[in-house]
């Protein structure tokens, strides 16, 4: 139990600056702040272990309320829904209905929806073809497959933080991004850790692409990107269930560094 508590301390120290807070109101407050700096926001709700319809429905109603709040306050923000959160992992039909519920409200209030596909299964992209106001957020390889299959490609958000991306040589990654930007009129690049995104932006600024940084990333570099003419947005999670987000998004080297720092702090306190 003590070990679990220690690991949680490490993870929370790593991830806390990249989360707006535990509640929807914290996300709304930070969105107002970022909008005042001319930065639109993409908001996601952190929710782990979606294993039944009741939890998937709870997540669905949370996103619907978020849409209403964003619209009521006139904020410039989209929502991003990992599809497993609404049931795709265990009940595709129920998940499609949950997505329909969210999208109908989002369309009514003018809020764009990103459907984030983790491990894309055969045919999963076809589920979204019946909806309007929905873009696909996926790994580079899956995004390329989707665009090649569907002639009328939706807006694409390329998630540069997956295992598939890490295995790609940089030159191949840039080639895929160039292909996608030529085929899709609305494209976003998102990266965790953000150094990958910054490298792409620094070497070749594509003014038709939106560069999306994690909330809590270096404001200095974001301002530098904006001065160069880059269109920038901020990816901002909120919620109490942050553990899976931390495990999937924290660079291993940084985790080792902080672990050693916490061990050192623990030793100093013990000696006192």
Q: What is the tens place of the pLDDT at every residue in 93-123?
A: 898 999 999 999 999 999 999 999 876 665 6
Would you say the pTM of this structure is higher than 0.75? yes
Residue-level pLDDT at 271: 44
Distance, in Å, from the CA atom of 118 to the CA atom of 98, rounded to the nearest integer, reads 17
Cβ–Cβ < 8 Å for 214, 194: yes
Q: Do the strands 134-139 and 187-190 form a parallel or antiparallel pair, or are they unpaired?
A: unpaired
Which is more confident, 259 or 200?
A: 200
* Ranges 14-28, 32-46, 105-119, most confident: 32-46
Residue-level pLDDT at 165: 54
Residue-level pLDDT at 163: 46
Q: How many helices (H) and strands (E) does the chain have?
A: 11, 8
H/E element, 151: none
Residue 262: pLDDT above 80?
Answer: no
Give backbone dihedrals phi and psi of 240, rounded to 5 degrees, phi first: -85, -20
% of the chain beyond a pLDDT of 90: 44
DSSP 128: G
Q: What is the mean pLDDT of residues 185-211?
A: 85
Query: Does domain 20-241 fall into CATH 3.40.50.970?
Result: no
């Amino acid at each position: 139990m003590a070990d679990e508590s220690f690991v949680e301390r490490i993870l929370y120290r790593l991830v806390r600056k990249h989360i707006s807070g535990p509640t929807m109101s914290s996300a709304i407050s930070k969105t107002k702040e970022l909008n005042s700096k001319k930065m639109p926001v993409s908001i996601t709700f952190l929710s782990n272990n979606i294993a039944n319809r009741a939890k998937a429905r709870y997540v669905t109603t949370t996103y619907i309320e978020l849409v209403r709040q964003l619209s009521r306050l006139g904020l410039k923000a989209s929502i991003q829904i990992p599809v497993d959160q609404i049931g795709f992992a265990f009940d595709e039909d129920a998940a499609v209905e949950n997505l329909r519920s969210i999208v109908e409200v989002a369309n009514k209030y003018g809020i764009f929806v990103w459907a984030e596909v983790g491990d894309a299964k055969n045919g999963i992209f076809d589920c979204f073809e019946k909806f309007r106001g929905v873009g696909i957020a996926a790994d580079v390889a899956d995004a390329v497959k989707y665009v090649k299959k569907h002639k009328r490609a939706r807006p694409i958000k390329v998630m540069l933080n997956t295992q598939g991306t890490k295995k790609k040589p940089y030159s191949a990654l840039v080639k895929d991004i160039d292909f996608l930007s030529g085929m899709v009129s609305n494209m976003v690049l998102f990266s965790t850790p953000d150094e990958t995104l910054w490298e792409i932006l620094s070497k070749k600024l594509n003014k038709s692409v939106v560069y999306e940084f994690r909330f809590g990333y270096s404001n200095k570099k974001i301002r530098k990107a904006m001065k160069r003419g880059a269109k920038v947005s901020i990816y901002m999670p909120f919620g109490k269930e942050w553990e899976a987000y931390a495990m999937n998004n924290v660079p291993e080297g940084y985790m080792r560094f902080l672990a050693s720092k916490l061990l050192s702090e623990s030793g100093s306190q013990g000696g006192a």
